[in-house]
Amino acid sequence: MSHAGEVTPPPLAPPIVPGPVPPRRAGPTWARVIGIISIVLGSLGALGGAWNAIAAALSPAFMGWMPPDDAAFQAMQAAMRKWVPWQVAVGVALLLVAGVLLASGVGMVRYRRWSVRAAWIWIILKALAVTGSSVVTGLHQRDQMQAMAEAGTPLPAGLVGGMAIGSAILYWLWGMVYPAFLCVWLVRPSIRKQTRDWP
């Protein structure tokens, strides 16, 4: 309680007048949509790559259950063993590449500029990984069918090479769908202008 004659000292800071809080600028909707899609596909890709690597590494143990007196099965087993290291390497590569997409998706939903750079890195790595995986898959199938044919299993002429090449092409096309879409989307001038302002 102040007494008469006392002077109230001035405040140490100027008074603050409350005013309207400026609305937070929302980021583009497309970034959240693409970010969520990238997170989902990256997670699934990582699980798929890990499963492929583990299954390929354990496949020699399961090959021992094949009938020893069946020449066709034994020929397939020999062809499969040849490609086990390559399949493990492809699985690990796909796992690591999927991790880049997952990180890019997390940054995209937060509107971070580095997420666009990570997306471009993923597009390049994914193209290399899918190409390598397609080649390994095609050659693996070719060797298996050739081994079956040599073991006495009749196969139509031209089926061995045709199926191997066809499956490799289909695998490559399927694996490049999202990288192609993301590449076309990110090169658009309006998208580049928006992402340039991200922190």
Q: What is the DSSP letter of 66?
A: S
The pLDDT value recorded for residue 91 is 94
The pLDDT value recorded for residue 193 is 93
The pLDDT value recorded for residue 95 is 96
**Residue whose C-alpha is closest to residue 26's, from 109, 115, 105, 101:** 109
Rounded-to-integer distance, Cα 11 and Cα 15, Å: 8
The pLDDT value recorded for residue 84 is 87
* 103 CB-near residues (< 8 Å, 6+ apart): 42, 115, 118
The pLDDT value recorded for residue 138 is 86
Cα dihedral 168, 170, 171, 172, rounded to 10, equals 90
The pLDDT value recorded for residue 132 is 93
The pLDDT value recorded for residue 157 is 59
Q: For the residues of 4-33, what is the DSSP string, one character each?
A: TT--PPPPSSPPPPP-PPPPPPPPPHHHHH
The pLDDT value recorded for residue 80 is 76
- From first to last of its 199 residues, what are the pLDDT tens digits of the chain? 555 556 666 556 555 655 555 455 567 999 999 999 999 999 999 999 999 999 888 877 776 666 666 666 666 677 778 888 999 999 999 999 999 999 999 999 999 999 999 999 999 999 999 999 999 988 888 877 777 766 666 666 566 667 778 888 999 999 999 999 999 999 999 999 999 999 9
The pLDDT value recorded for residue 70 is 62
